[in-house]
Amino acid sequence: MVTSLMRRWKIRRLYNRKRWRHARRLCEHELETQNHDFATDIIVRSLYNEGLWKPLIDFTEQYPRADYKIYAQKAQRKLNQAREEAEGIPEPKNKKPWNVSDLLSNWTQEENRLWLRHPWGWAHWDMPEGYLLNDTHPALLHLALEVLLFPWVPETKHWVVEQRMPGANNSLSYSGGVDSTAAMLLLPKDTILAYHERNFTSMLNHSLPHSTFEAIEKRTGRSILCIPSNHEKIRTHHELQTGFSSANAACVHLILLADHLDLCSISFGTVIENTWLEKGLKFREFQNSYYWNHWPKKFEKAGLSYVLPINHISEAGALKICNQSVFADVVNSCLRGNGDRWCGTCWKCFHKNGPLGREIDATSKEISTYLNKKPLRTAQHALWALKIQNLEHLAPHLIEHIADDLSWWDKAYEPGLNLIEEPLRSIVREKTESYLEWMAEPYALLNVDLDM
Ligand SMILES: [Zn+2]
């Protein structure tokens, strides 16, 4: 007994003196003793401090424990970063400099790969067989440049070209998550579904959406067009994390494919939290917003109608729609899951998977951090999610708001239909009614003000 304690004391002293390798070596002899938990702890932390990422991942697989997951994830991220740095960002065979006076000359094509020369490097899209840049209308190429670069290149905002004539097909920028699946369910069955796929290593895991796509194909015969691209790297040149340059960059693959697919519209799975509520916190008359008065007009110039088929529905309503559909068991918004399993510890898991009755750990670090953030992200929905999961005790500072009746939150806001043009409006109305009730007047939505 004493010797076991003595050995622990010695190891701890080594560890505290940053002699990690030595501490770790001694711990390897303790794995089969009563010091097992102590030893695995020291080994995991030492490997982490030593930057031995691969051995760390291997060790946590051999000795799995919930609290080691975060170390393994960090290690994986470090490995990915190192690989990306080694591989670099791909470039075309024919290189030329960025040309701001002839914006469209920055687009080129090599085989099926479409290249964009931007001021800081190159982005690309892997297009379907038969795609031709030369057959793509200049208005589409200008619109794509604008949604990708306008935050940094103001010249991309002003373009005058002949208007493109609308095509025949509707499309949806589809992510496989709850909101965009609800949008799919409210749109006509022949709507083209297209997914933007990050084609570089990142923490986001594409296996969950792909298992959703597989189920959709199997059950309905509808296929999802996947377009690999690295355009989310563009904003990393401006000290921002990998992601979309602007909200509409999420659909840039469809803008670029609009002639190839003969599109007349692009739909988005944008919910009330991002339309009628400002940042999910406070009601606004969305039809008067700058956003609504700017972007649909721009898309119109490119012969595309800008459709928000679930602008009248909250995340809770979207969950309710998916839950009544044949995809209830496969839709998942978690971006950190694996195969068909969600992570259970992220914010998306809290407010999407939890209310669906799926197992989550609401005390996880990420969920607690978000719940205590001011202002609370997607506040109205978070309150509802706390209430419906009986988790009010996790956010005592929000209790006064949770006391309100929130039963209206999963119903649909009828005035939102006015943002959708016919003939889609009637279709969306009819399908909405088959899943949800309408909010009653006077609308409680108008009183939402959670800017705490
Ligand atoms: Zn998750």
26 within a domain of the structure (yes/no): yes
Q: Please report, for residues 303, 304, 321, the alpha-carbon distance to residue 169 in angstroms, rounded to integers and kept in the order given.
A: 12, 10, 24
Over range 286-293, report the average pLDDT: 97
Question: Which amino acid, 452?
Answer: M
SS3 readout for the chain: CHHHHHHHHHHHHHHHCCCHHHHHHHHHCCCCCCCHHHHHHHHHHHHHHHCCHHHHHHHHHHCCCHHHHHHHHHHHHHHHHHHHHHHCCCCCCCCCCCCCCCHHHHEEEECCEEEEEECCEEEEEECCCCCCHHHCCHHHHHHHHHHHHCCCCHHHHCCCCCCCCCCCEEEEECCCCHHHHHHHHHCCCCCEEEEEEECCCCCCCCHHHHHHHHHHHHHHCCCEEEEEECHHHHHHHHCCCCCCCCHHHHHHHHHHCCCCCCEEEEECCCCHHHCCEECCCEECCHHHCHHHHHHHHHHHHCCCEEECCCCCCCHHHHHHHHHCCCCCCCCCCCCCCECCECCCCCHHHHHHHCCCCCCCCCCCHHHHHHHCCCCCCCHHHHHHHHHHCCCHHHCHHHHHHHCCCCHHHHCECHHHHHHCCCCHHHHHHHHHHHHCCECCCCCHHHHCECCC
Q: pTM for this structure?
A: 0.80
In this structure, the answer to whether residues 346 and 237 fall within a common structural domain is: yes
Identify the domain boundary among 65, 87, 109: 87
Check residue 379 and give its pLDDT: 85
**Cα-based angle 293, 294, 300 (whole degrees, multiple of 5):** 100
pLDDT for residue 32: 93
Is there a domain that residue 39 lies in?
A: yes
Number of C-beta neighbours around residue 224 at 10 A: 19
Residues 68 and 123 in one domain: no
Local confidence band at 84 (pLDDT 50, 70, 90 cut-offs): low
Q: What is the CATH number of the domain that holds 361?
A: 3.40.50.620
Q: Are residues 183 and 272 in the same domain?
A: yes
pLDDT tens track for 369-381: 999 888 888 888 9
- Classify residue 92: in a domain, yes or no: no
Measured distance CA(27)–CA(40) in Å, rounded? 7
Whether 427 has a pLDDT exceeding 60, the answer reads: yes
One domain for residues 174 and 273: yes
Q: How far does the centroid of ligand 1 lie from the alpha carbon of residue 29, in Å? A: 36
Q: Residue 260, Cβ neighbours under 10 Å: how many?
A: 17
CA-angle at 310, arms to 183 and 424, nearest 5°: 80
Please tell me whether residues 177 and 52 are part of one structural domain: no
Q: Hunting for tokens 């304690």 — which residue is that? A: 5
Cα(333) to ligand 1 centroid in Å equals: 8
C-alpha 369/C-alpha 38 separation (Å) is 28
What pLDDT was estimated at residue 404?
Answer: 77
Distance 330 CA to ligand 1 centre (A): 14
Q: How far is the CA of 264 from the centre of ligand 1 (A)?
A: 35
Dihedral sign of CA atoms 410, 413, 414, 420 in order: negative
Task: Kindly report which listed range (108-122, 156-170, 214-228) carries the lowest average pLDDT score.
Answer: 214-228
**∠ CA 191-197-198, rounded to 5°:** 160
Ligand 1 centroid to 256 CA: how many Å?
31
Residues forming beta bridges with residue 121, ordered by sequence position:
118
Instruction: Kindly state whether residue 333 falls inside one of the protein's structural domains.
Output: yes
Contact 312, 305 (CB under 8 A): no
Q: Is residue 95 part of a domain?
A: no
pLDDT digits (tens, 9 = 90+) for 158-210: 999 999 999 999 999 999 989 999 999 999 999 999 999 988 766 555 556 88
CA of 374 to the centre of ligand 1 (A): 22
Question: Is residue 89 scored above 90 in pLDDT?
Answer: no
Which residues constitute the domain of residue 48? 2-87
Q: How far is the CA of 360 from the centre of ligand 1 (A)?
A: 8
Six-digit token string for 310: 């679930």
Residue 49 has pLDDT above 80, yes or no: yes
> If you measure from the C-alpha of residue 442 to the centroid of ligand 1, how many angstroms do you get, rounded to a whole number?
36
112 found inside a domain: no
Cα of 197 vs centre of ligand 1, distance in Å, is: 18
What per-residue confidence (pLDDT) applies to 209? 80
> Nearest to residue 104, comparing CAs of 154, 149, 142, 60?
142
In angstroms, rounded to a whole number, what is the distance separating the alpha carbons of residues 401 and 384? 10
Same domain flag for 257 and 378: yes
| Pairing assessment for the beta strands 282-283 and 277-278 based on DSSP bridges | antiparallel
CA of 366 to the centre of ligand 1 (A): 10
**Per the domain annotation, does 72 fall within a domain?**
yes
- Write down the pLDDT at residue 384: 93
Looking at the 3D structure of the chain, how many domains does it have?
2
